[in-house]
Chain A
Amino acid sequence: MLTMRLPSALAAPFRRTSRRRAAARALPAAGGYEAAIEASLDLDREIGRKLDEAVARTETSALAIMQQVRELSDRSTELAARLQQATSDAAEFEEDIAANAAALAQLARFLECLPARLQRDLACISAIAGEIKGLSGLAENVQAISMQSHLVSINAAIEASRAGSAGHAFKVVASEVRALAANSHTAASHIGGSLERIRSMLKEGLENSTAESAEDMVHINRVSQAVARLQTSFDRACGSYRERLGEMHDHGEALAAGTVEVLGQLQYQDVVRQCVERLQAAIAQRNAALGQEFIGNPVPRPDVLARLVADITAEYLATERLHGDGMTAENSAPAIELF
């Protein structure tokens, strides 16, 4: 806690005038001036006390303001540190999201190519189905050949019977050819049946795939659009976040600059204090002159007093001109100068 100092130059004349006032009470009245001078001195003392109080109050307030400003500044500094951490975290987060966005973009490209791939696969399956249909025709040909072989073997058996014992061996051959034709027919029938089943399966699968791929196309388009929207939202969120961080940083800097200016402005309290001290010193000088001339002197000399007070005034004004911040001082020297 700071206390105000009453300048010794100010306090001493008051003490002197008090002593002289006591002595003067014993002297005859000097033309009725004494009471007026005493009243004037009382007023000056009251004014001096009030000025001291005012200076003390402004100093207390200035110190309290500085304390508050410092606390605000410390909070601002803490906020700036947290902001810095947030910026660092955001950069890390941005890198992660950028990597995810790249993966999403890759997925989107894959989804875009998928319909063409499906179409190509379907065309391939359709071509296989066509080839299988061709194979079915070949199986029918084999069946026709086996049927003809069967008929040839029957005719051969009839002719062998007509030949009697000489055609016995030929009859055996005809029988084997008939059995071979029957086996060929059976195999061709199995092949034809299998090919037909495969073709049916392919046909059914192709129809299902065509229907499903149309449905898949709708889903793929939706997913592609969602990915595009996600990327746009992410870019917007990143931009907005960067903008907010920039704004907060600017506000922080403005707050710091404002704090510095407030602290600078509070120096006026000291300027005013010194101004009041010089004023009080001048009043004390004048009071001393008044006391000396009217209270301690049986024959007051108003002309001498007038000169004394004029000198005090001139000295006070000259001192004031040597002080100030450039707005009040009659001095051409710059407020800030490096030698």
Chain B
Amino acid sequence: MAKTILVVDDSGTMVLSLKNNLEIAGFAVQTASDGLKGLERLKAGPKPDLIITDINMPNMGGIEFIGKARATPGFRFTPILVLTTESQQARRDEAKKAGATGWMVKPVAGADLLKIVKQVLPGA
């Protein structure tokens, strides 16, 4: 059965790019346009095996979303990757503290993205 990945980003271009890329690679993809909708997705199910989130989003940003996702039952150990244009160490530390698994700076090459996804998703 295909692994499911939740993509949280306010950019339609990013969402479609990641969705197509991951679906072609055989993953099932859910999407949300901000952190708030991302949390709703987590609560509504089905449970994703991996979450990829942006940082700067309206309504609820990525750091807050990661923290709240970690506090949601069943998502303590789900890998969460950040995909953002930001690259500074301080923001990475914030994300790490909130519970992020890794950090990727946009744009990330399709092959590199799949490599990282397979690295954090054993058996993918």
Contacts and interface: CB of A to CB of B under 8 A. Distances in A.
The finding on whether chains A and B are genuine partners in a shared complex, rather than unrelated, reads yes
Interface of A: 2, 5, 59, 62-63, 66-67, 69-70, 73, 77, 256-257, 259-271, 273-275, 322-326, 329, 331, 333, 335-339
A338 B111 CA distance: 16
26 contacts: A66-B13, A66-B17, A70-B20, A70-B24, A73-B24, A257-B111, A261-B110, A263-B20, A263-B21, A264-B109, A270-B13, A270-B14, A270-B107, A271-B85, A273-B11, A322-B91, A324-B87, A325-B105, A325-B107, A333-B87, A333-B92, A335-B104, A336-B104, A336-B108, A337-B102, A337-B103
Contact of B106 (A5, A66, A270): A270
Contacts of B92: 333, 337
Interface stretch (B42-50, B67-75, B113-121): B113-121
B14 A259 contact: no
Given A69-B20, A263-B21, A339 B101 contact: yes
A175 B19 CA distance: 127
Interface in B15-70: 16-17, 20-21, 24-25, 56, 58
Given A259-B24, A335-B108, 20 more contacts: A66-B17, A260-B21, A263-B21, A264-B107, A267-B14, A269-B11, A269-B13, A270-B13, A271-B107, A274-B85, A322-B86, A322-B87, A322-B91, A323-B85, A324-B105, A331-B88, A333-B89, A333-B103, A337-B103, A338-B101
Most chain A beta carbons < 10 A, residue from B25, B91, B105? B105
Interface of B: 9, 11-14, 16-17, 20-21, 24-25, 56, 58, 85-89, 91-92, 96, 100-114, 116, 119-120
Contacts of B56: 274
Given A322-B86, A337-B92, A339-B96, A63 B13 contact: yes
Nearest to A257: B111
A271 B106 contact: yes
A73 to B, nearest CB: 5
A267 B88 contact: no
A275 B107 CA distance: 13
Contacts of B119: 338
A10 B100 CA distance: 31
B116 A326 contact: no
A254 B101 CA distance: 31
